[in-house]
C-alpha cells in the first residue's frame, strides 16, 4: 500500500530548554527554602504532558500536579518516577489506584477525608482548603473541627494548599484576605508544608510563597502578572505554510463577511492555518505575522483552515507558496496573541497545542524514553520527600 508522507503545514515548535530555563528562573525567584512544583495538567497546557514532564524532571523538578488520575497514570506508565499529585479526582472512589501507583490525592471534601482515614497512613495526601475562590476545598470550619489541637492525632496531610482568585492583580485586597485565611489553617496544621501561590502569585511577595509554589503558566512562558522586564523565556513558536498567493484589486473584499476591503491593489497570501488549529477567531484583522523578518498584517476573518495576509509590501520572492509565516516567536508571544484575541494566554496555548503538529527542540532525553510505556508491575515510584 502506498503511504502519503508530507511535512506539516502548521507547526507549533516547543523549546523544552526554555521550559527548563523558566523552571530555574522561578526557583531563583522563590529561593532555596521554597520548592517549585510543576503543573502539567491539560496536556501541559497543550504542549505535551510527557515531553514537558520529562524535561522538568530532568531539570530537577520533584513534584508534578495533574488534573486527573488518568494523567497521573499516564506519567507513571512512561516511567516518570517523581511525586505526582492529582488536583481533583474522587479519591473516595479510586483510592486503590492512588495507593498502588504512589499517586498523591489532593483531598477536596469530607467524603475523601473519610476515605483517607480508611486507607490509613500508607496513603500520603494533600489537603485543599477553600479561602475565597469558591471552587473546591474544605471550608475553614471543617478543617478546625477535624484537626483541632489536642483532638486525637489524625493522619495529617503532608501539604495544605489553596488557590488564589485574583493573583494577577497585585494590589487586590482579595489576595491579602486569602493569604490570611490560609495562614490560619497553615498554623493550625503545623508542622505541614503550605502551598498558596501559582504563577502570578510568585510576584505577590515572599509572604505568599509558603513552602511550595505550584507553577504552570510561568514555565510555559506566560507572563500572567505582566511583570516588566519579563524574566520568562518564550517557549512556543508557531508557523504556517503559504498555500497560495493572489492579486486582490482595490475595492475588493477578502474573506467571510467581507470584513476587510483592499484600499489598494494588493498581493494576498493564503496560509494553511485556521481556527481548527486553535488560532482564535477573535484575532481577525488584529494581528500581524512575520515573513522572513518582515511584518505583514492578517486581513479578514480566520476561516476553519485558512488565514489571509497582506504581503504587498514584502518582496514577492520571500512570500510565495511554500514559504512559512510566523505567528508566534520571540517578538510576538502567546501573551501578545492572547491579548489581541481577547482571551487568556492559557486558553490560547491549550487550543493551539491541541490543534497543531508539535515539534520539540532541545529535548534532554532520547526520544525512546517516552515511547515505550512499561508494564505496571515494573514501575518503581515514590512520593519522594512529599511522602511522610
Ligand X SMILES: *Cc1c(COP(=O)(O)O)cnc(C)c1O
CB of 161 to ligand X, least distance (A): 7
Report the C-alpha gap between 353 and 348 in whole angstroms.
9
Is 223 a binding residue for ligand X by CB under 6 A? The answer is no
Render 164-216 in DSSP notation, one character per residue.
-SSTTSTT-HHHHHHHHHHHHHHHHH-S-EEE---TGGGGG-GGGTTTEEEES
x-marked contacts with ligand X along 176-205 as a string, rule CB under 6 A: ----------------------xxx-----
Is 39 a binding residue for ligand X by CB under 6 A? The answer is yes
Q: Is 342 annotated as a binding residue?
A: no
x-marked contacts with ligand X along 151-170 as a string, rule CB under 6 A: ------------x-------
Ramachandran sector of residue 210 (left: φ over 0; alpha: ψ -120 to 50; beta: rest) = left
DSSP state of 72: H
Name the grid cell of 355. Answer: 490543534
> Which CB sits closer to ligand X, 35 or 199?
199
CB of 358 to ligand X, least distance (A): 19
Report the C-alpha gap between 125 and 127 in whole angstroms.
7
Q: Is 41 a catalytic residue?
A: yes
CB of 260 to ligand X, least distance (A): 35
Question: CA angle, corner 198, sides to 337 and 195, nearest 5?
Answer: 175
Q: Is 1 annotated as a binding residue?
A: no
> Which CB sits closer to ligand X, 199 or 311?
199
> Which CB sits closer to ligand X, 196 or 303?
196
3-state DSSP percent of the chain in helix, strand and coil, to 5: 35, 20, 45
- Which is it for the CA torsion 266, 269, 275, 279, positive or negative? negative
Q: Which position among 121, 206, 247, 256 bears the catalytic label?
A: 256
Q: Is 169 a catalytic residue?
A: no
Residues annotated as part of the active site: 41, 256
Annotated binding site for substrate: 135, 304
Q: Which residues bind ligand X (CB under 6 A)?
A: 39, 41, 87, 163, 198-200, 214-218, 224
Annotated binding site: 135, 304
Amino acid at each position: 500500500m502506498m503511504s502519503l508522507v508530507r511535512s506539516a503545514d502548521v507547526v507549533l515548535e516547543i523549546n523544552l530548554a526554555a521550559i527548563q530555563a523558566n523552571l530555574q528562573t522561578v526557583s531563583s525567584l522563590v529561593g532555596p527554602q521554597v520548592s517549585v512544583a510543576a503543573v502539567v495538567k491539560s496536556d501541559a497546557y497543550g504542549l505535551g504532558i510527557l515531553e514537558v514532564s520529562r524535561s522538568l524532571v530532568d531539570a530537577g523538578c520533584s513534584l508534578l500536579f495533574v488534573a486527573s488520575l488518568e494523567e497521573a497514570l499516564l506519567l507513571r506508565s512512561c516511567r516518570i518516577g517523581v511525586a505526582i499529585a492529582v488536583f481533583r479526582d474522587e479519591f473516595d472512589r479510586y483510592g486503590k489506584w492512588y495507593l498502588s501507583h504512589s499517586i498523591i490525592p489532593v483531598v477536596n471534601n469530607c467524603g475523601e477525608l473519610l476515605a483517607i482515614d480508611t486507607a490509613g497512613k500508607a496513603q500520603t495526601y494533600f489537603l485543599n482548603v477553600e479561602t475565597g475562590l469558591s471552587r473546591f476545598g474544605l471550608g475553614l470550619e471543617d478543617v478546625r473541627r477535624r484537626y483541632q489541637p489536642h483532638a486525637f492525632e489524625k493522619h495529617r496531610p503532608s501539604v495544605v494548599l489553596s488557590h488564589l482568585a485574583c493573583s494577577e492583580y497585585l494590589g487586590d485586597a482579595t489576595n491579602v484576605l486569602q493569604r490570611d485565611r490560609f495562614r490560619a489553617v497553615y498554623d493550625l496544621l503545623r508542622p505541614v508544608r503550605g502551598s498558596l501561590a501559582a504563577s502570578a502569585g510568585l510576584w505577590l511577595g515572599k509572604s505568599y510563597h509558603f513552602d511550595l509554589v505550584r507553577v504552570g503558566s510561568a514555565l510555559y512562558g506566560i507572563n500572567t502578572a505582566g511583570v516588566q522586564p519579563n524574566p520568562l523565556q518564550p517557549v512556543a513558536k508557531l508557523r504556517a505554510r503559504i498555500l497560495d498567493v493572489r492579486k486582490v484589486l482595490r475595492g475588493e473584499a477578502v474573506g467571510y463577511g467581507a470584513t476587510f476591503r483592499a484600499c489598494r491593489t494588493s498581493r494576498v497570501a493564503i496560509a494553511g492555518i485556521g481556527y481548527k488549529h486553535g488560532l482564535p477567531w477573535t484575532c481577525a484583522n488584529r494581528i500581524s505575522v512575520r515573513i522572513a523578518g518582515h511584518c505583514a498584517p492578517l486581513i479578514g476573518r480566520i476561516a476553519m483552515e485558512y488565514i489571509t495576509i497582506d504581503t504587498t509590501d514584502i518582496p514577492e520572492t520571500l512570500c510565495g507558496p511554500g514559504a512559512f509565516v510566523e505567528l508566534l516567536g520571540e517578538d510576538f508571544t502567546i501573551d501578545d496573541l492572547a491579548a489581541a484575541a481577547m482571551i487568556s494566554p492559557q486558553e490560547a496555548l491549550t487550543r493551539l497545542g491541541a490543534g497543531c503538529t508539535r515539534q520539540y527542540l532541545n529535548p534532554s532525553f532520547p526520544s525512546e524514553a517516552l515511547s515505550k510505556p512499561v508494564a505496571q508491575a515494573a514501575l518503581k515510584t515514590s512520593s519522594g520527600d512529599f511522602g511522610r
